[in-house]
Amino acid sequence: MTTILQAKHVEKTFGIQGNSYTALQGINLEIQEGEFVGIMGPSGAGKSTLLNIFSTIDTPTAGDITIAGQHILSMNEEQLSDFRRNQLGFIFQDYNLLDTLTVKENIVLPLALSKVPAAEIEKRVNDIADTFGIRDILGKYPYHISGGQKQRTAASRAIVANPSLILADEPTGALDSKSAASLLQSLKKLNELHHSTILMVTHDAYAASFCKRVIFIKDGRLYQELHRDDQLRKVFFDQILEVLAALGGEHDDTV
């Protein structure tokens, strides 16, 4: 099995000596190709800091990180820009779609920047649109579609370039329950059918129950992890709630 992400002894401290805050301490983590992993924990636990480091937006104070076989901490800005475009896919809570482009044009953008042939672009866009159920809105503009459709468009754009790792930051945070369920089912389908590797930060136990593995962080350290294995999602959901209760973390307990 191929290791997509490996973090060794990752630390992150903000501020200066005497007035500093340690956000992450001794993080050791591996994610294999084809995993769908959730990261959970109370507010201030270090979830977003860890995601920012993995996404190359921020750098750790200490440690080593390898993604898709490349040591990201040794790259310069130009190399990191190429790496993000070619190896990482991002799904954010606020969509980040361009209103002047149609849904299809928003999805195509990463491929156009990478100069992918037109025939290959057409095939990839149609395949992704089918996976996320948005084929019928490809000609519409973002201001003509719902929040759930915007998020599925953003997710399609994130994965159309076949990244090694998809990073999702609270992707259901701005969605109603029906739209959230639709997006999560699509991500699950993407993971199962295309073997896509997904790392999702969420505070929502319902969202996390779609993952194959959930990692919990407390006070900047890895606290516990759960594996779904062959359990029903409802059983896994209940296990997640139990850990969150022990953590004292915020969560949404609807399913």
**Residue-wise pLDDT tens digits, 116-159:** 888 899 999 999 999 889 999 999 999 999 999 999 999 999 98
User: Does the pLDDT at position 255 exceed 50?
Assistant: no
CA 120, CA 118: separation in Å to the nearest integer?
5
Q: Provide the 10 A C-beta neighbour count for residue 77.
A: 8
Fold for domain 36-57+76-249?
A: Rossmann fold (3.40.50)
User: Does the pLDDT at position 254 exceed 60?
Assistant: no
CA 168, CA 153: separation in Å to the nearest integer?
14
Cite the beta strand spans of 92-150 per DSSP E.
Answer: none
Instruction: Provide the token pair at 3.
Output: 């290791």
Q: Which of the four pLDDT bands, split at 50, 70 and 90, describes residue 232?
A: very high
**CA dihedral for 122, 141, 159, 239, sign (positive or negative):** negative
Task: Give the 3-state secondary structure of residue 164.
Answer: coil
What is the chain's mean pLDDT, rounded? 91
Burial class of residue 112 in the structure, from the number of CB atoms within 10 Å of its CB (0-12 exposed, 13-18 middle, 19+ buried)? exposed
What number is the average pLDDT over the span 51-65? 95
Predicted TM-score of the model (pTM): 0.90
| Residue 121 contacts residue 103 (beta carbons within 8 Å) | no
Predicted local distance difference test score (pLDDT) of residue 93:
80
User: Does the pLDDT at position 63 exceed 60?
Assistant: yes
Q: Which of the four pLDDT bands, split at 50, 70 and 90, describes residue 231?
A: very high
User: Does the pLDDT at position 253 exceed 50?
Assistant: no
Domain borders along the chain are 36-57+76-249
What number is the average pLDDT over the span 172-181? 90
User: Does the pLDDT at position 172 exceed 60?
Assistant: yes
| Residue 144 contacts residue 116 (beta carbons within 8 Å) | no
Place of tokens 């779904």: 228
Predicted local distance difference test score (pLDDT) of residue 26:
95
Q: Which of the four pLDDT bands, split at 50, 70 and 90, describes residue 114?
A: confident
CA 233, CA 211: separation in Å to the nearest integer?
9
What's the helix, strand, coil split of the chain in %, to 5?
40, 25, 30
Comparing C-alpha atoms, which of 47, 55, 51 is closest to residue 244? 47
| Residue 198 contacts residue 166 (beta carbons within 8 Å) | yes
Comparing C-alpha atoms, which of 190, 35, 223, 180 is closest to residue 93? 180
Q: Which of the four pLDDT bands, split at 50, 70 and 90, describes residue 44?
A: confident
Predicted local distance difference test score (pLDDT) of residue 246:
92
| Residue 33 contacts residue 212 (beta carbons within 8 Å) | no
CA 89, CA 208: separation in Å to the nearest integer?
19
**Residue 115: DSSP 8-state:** T
The alpha carbon of 27 is separated from its chain's Cα centroid by a whole number of angstroms, namely 18
Label residue 11 left, alpha or beta by phi (over 0 means left) and psi (-120 to 50 means alpha). beta
